Amino acid sequence: MNIYVNSNLEFHLQNNYISYIIKILENGDLGHLYLGKRLNHKDNFSNMLQIFEHQVPYTPEQIDGVSGFALDSLKQEFPGAGTGDYKEPAYVILQDNGSRVTNYKFLKYEILNEKPPLKGLPHTYILNNDEVKTLKITLRDELLNSDITLTYSIYKNFPIITRSSSIVNNGEKDLTLERFLSFNLDIVQKNYELLHLSGAWARERNIITTPINQNRIVIDSKRGASSSNSNPFIALKEKNADEFKGEYIGINLVYSGNFIGQVEKDHYDNIRINMGINPFNFSWILEKGESFQAPEVVINYSDSGLNTLSQNYHNFYKNHLIRGVWKDKARPILINNWEATYFDFNEEKILQIAKKSKELGVELFVLDDGWFGTRNGDTSGLGDWWSNLDKLPNGVEGLSKKINDLGLKFGLWFEPEMVNPDSELYKNNPHWALSVPKRKPTLSRNQLTLDLGRSDVREYLYEKISTILKNSKISYIKWDMNRNMTDIWSGVLEAKRQGEVAHRYILGVYELMDKLTSEFPNILFESCAGGGNRFDPGMLYYMPQIWTSDNTDAIERLKIQYGTSIVYPISSMGAHVSAVPNHQTGRITSIKTRANVAFFGAFGYELDLNKITLKEAEEVKKQIEFFKENRRLLQFGTFYRIESPFENGFQKTSWAVINEDKSEAIIGVYRVLSIPNPNFDYITIPGLNPNFKYKITDEDILGEEFFGDELANSGIKFRKIGLDVHDFNSLEKLGDFRSKLFKISKINP
Residues of each annotated binding site: 201, 368-369, 445, 478-482, 528, 550
Q: Is 413 one of the binding residues for ligand DGJ (CB under 6 A)? A: yes
- At residue 669, φ and ψ (nearest 5 deg) are -125, 135
Say whether 473 sits in a helix, a strand or coil. Answer: coil
Say whether 73 sits in a helix, a strand or coil. Answer: coil
**Which contiguous run of DSSP H or E holds residue 353?**
helix 347-360
Nearer to ligand DGJ, 147 or 369 (CB): 369
Q: Which residues pair with 162 in a beta bridge?
A: 153, 298
Q: Which of 547, 562, 627, 655 forms a contact with ligand DGJ (CB under 6 A)?
A: 547
Nearer to ligand DGJ, 45 or 413 (CB): 413
* Cα of 374 vs its chain's centroid, Å: 34
* Cα of 383 vs its chain's centroid, Å: 27
Binding pattern to ligand DGJ, positions 455-484, x when CB under 6 A? Answer: -------------------------x-x--
- Cα distance between residue 238 and residue 211, in whole Å: 10
Report yes or no: 360 and 624 within 8 Å, Cβ to Cβ.
yes
Please report how close the Cβ of residue 562 comes to ligand DGJ at its closest, in angstroms: 20
Please report how close the Cβ of residue 537 comes to ligand DGJ at its closest, in angstroms: 20
Residue of 738, 350, 304, 298 whose CA lies nearest to 554: 738
Nearer to ligand DGJ, 24 or 540 (CB): 540
Q: Which stretch binds ligand DGJ (CB under 6 A): 138-146, 306-314, 347-355, 523-531?
A: 523-531
- Cα distance between residue 178 and residue 148, in whole Å: 15
Q: Is 384 one of the binding residues for ligand DGJ (CB under 6 A)? A: no
Instruction: Give the contacts of 31 (CB within 8 A, at least 6 positions apart).
Output: 22, 23, 24, 25, 49, 74, 75, 76, 77
- At residue 443, φ and ψ (nearest 5 deg) are -85, 150
Please report how close the Cβ of residue 528 comes to ligand DGJ at its closest, in angstroms: 5
Helices (H), 525-639: 537-542, 554-564, 591-598, 614-636
Q: Is 338 one of the binding residues for ligand DGJ (CB under 6 A)? A: yes
Q: What is the DSSP letter of 714?
A: T
Nearer to ligand DGJ, 413 or 737 (CB): 413
Report yes or no: 419 and 452 within 8 Å, Cβ to Cβ.
no
- Cα distance between residue 480 and residue 428, in whole Å: 23
- Length of the chain equals 749
Please report how close the Cβ of residue 645 comes to ligand DGJ at its closest, in angstroms: 22
Nearer to ligand DGJ, 293 or 482 (CB): 482
Please report how close the Cβ of residue 491 comes to ligand DGJ at its closest, in angstroms: 27
Distances (CA, A) of 517 to 47, 330, 475, 513, 571: 50, 18, 12, 6, 19
**By beta-carbon distance, which residue lies closest to ligand DGJ?**
369
Report yes or no: 163 and 152 within 8 Å, Cβ to Cβ.
yes
Q: What is the DSSP letter of 568?
A: S
Report yes or no: 425 and 457 within 8 Å, Cβ to Cβ.
no
- Cα distance between residue 570 and residue 603, in whole Å: 10
Q: Which stretch binds ligand DGJ (CB under 6 A): 79-87, 357-365, 434-442, 526-534?
A: 526-534
Q: Which stretch binds ligand DGJ (CB under 6 A): 161-169, 385-393, 524-532, 669-677?
A: 524-532
Q: Which stretch binds ligand DGJ (CB under 6 A): 22-30, 528-536, 612-620, 652-660?
A: 528-536
Nearer to ligand DGJ, 363 or 369 (CB): 369
- Cα distance between residue 638 and residue 630, in whole Å: 13
Please report how close the Cβ of residue 249 comes to ligand DGJ at its closest, in angstroms: 32
Please report how close the Cβ of residue 484 comes to ligand DGJ at its closest, in angstroms: 13
Q: Is 550 labeled as catalytic in the residue annotation?
A: yes
Amino acid of residue 215? N
| Neighbour count for residue 279 (Cβ, 10 Å) | 20
Catalytic residue, chosen from 29, 550, 608, 681, is 550
Q: Which of 147, 368, 417, 619 forms a contact with ligand DGJ (CB under 6 A)?
A: 368
Q: In whole angstroms, how large is the CA radius of gyration of the chain?
A: 27
Nearer to ligand DGJ, 305 or 604 (CB): 604
Annotated binding site for substrate: 201, 368-369, 445, 478-482, 528, 550
Q: Which of 80, 332, 531, 604 forms a contact with ligand DGJ (CB under 6 A)?
A: 531
Q: Which stretch binds ligand DGJ (CB under 6 A): 379-387, 525-533, 556-564, 709-717?
A: 525-533
Catalytic residue, chosen from 451, 480, 681, 700, is 480
Nearer to ligand DGJ, 192 or 413 (CB): 413
Please report how close the Cβ of residue 223 comes to ligand DGJ at its closest, in angstroms: 16
User: Which of the residues 607 through 626 are near ligand DGJ (CB under 6 A)?
Assistant: none
- Cα distance between residue 154 and residue 40, in whole Å: 16
- Cα distance between residue 77 and residue 168, in whole Å: 18
Q: Is 147 labeled as catalytic in the residue annotation?
A: no
Please report how close the Cβ of residue 480 comes to ligand DGJ at its closest, in angstroms: 5
Q: Which of 122, 295, 421, 530 forms a contact with ligand DGJ (CB under 6 A)?
A: 530
User: Which of the residues 296 through 335 are near ligand DGJ (CB under 6 A)?
Assistant: none
**Which contiguous run of DSSP H or E holds residue 186?**
strand 183-188
**Which contiguous run of DSSP H or E holds residue 196?**
strand 192-198
Cα of first residue to Cα of last residue in the chain, in angstroms, is: 38
Q: How many residues bind ligand DGJ (CB under 6 A)?
A: 11
Q: What is the DSSP letter of 573?
A: E
Q: Which of 93, 202, 392, 528 forms a contact with ligand DGJ (CB under 6 A)?
A: 528
Please report how close the Cβ of residue 453 comes to ligand DGJ at its closest, in angstroms: 23
Q: Bin 296: left if φ > 0, else alpha if -120 < ψ < 50, else beta.
A: beta
- Cα distance between residue 668 and residue 727, in whole Å: 22
The vertex-449 CA angle with 447 and 454, nearest 5°, equals: 150
- Cα distance between residue 40 and residue 12, in whole Å: 10
| Neighbour count for residue 10 (Cβ, 10 Å) | 22
Q: Which of 369, 526, 556, 700 forms a contact with ligand DGJ (CB under 6 A)?
A: 369
User: Which of the residues 480 through 519 are near ligand DGJ (CB under 6 A)?
Assistant: 480, 482
Please report how close the Cβ of residue 413 comes to ligand DGJ at its closest, in angstroms: 6
Query: How many CA atoms lie less than 13 Å away from 104 in the CB half-sphere?
Result: 28
Nearer to ligand DGJ, 453 or 563 (CB): 563
Nearer to ligand DGJ, 231 or 482 (CB): 482
Strands 230-238, 248-253: parallel, antiparallel or unpaired by DSSP?
antiparallel
Please report how close the Cβ of residue 70 comes to ligand DGJ at its closest, in angstroms: 51
Nearer to ligand DGJ, 262 or 357 (CB): 357
Nearer to ligand DGJ, 18 or 412 (CB): 412
Amino acid of residue 95? Q
Please report the beta strands in 142-174, taking only residues with DSSP state E, as ranges in sequence order. Answer: 146-155, 160-169
| Residues with catalytic roles | 480, 550
Catalog residues that contact ligand DGJ under the rule CB under 6 A. 338, 368-369, 413, 480, 482, 528, 530-531, 547, 550
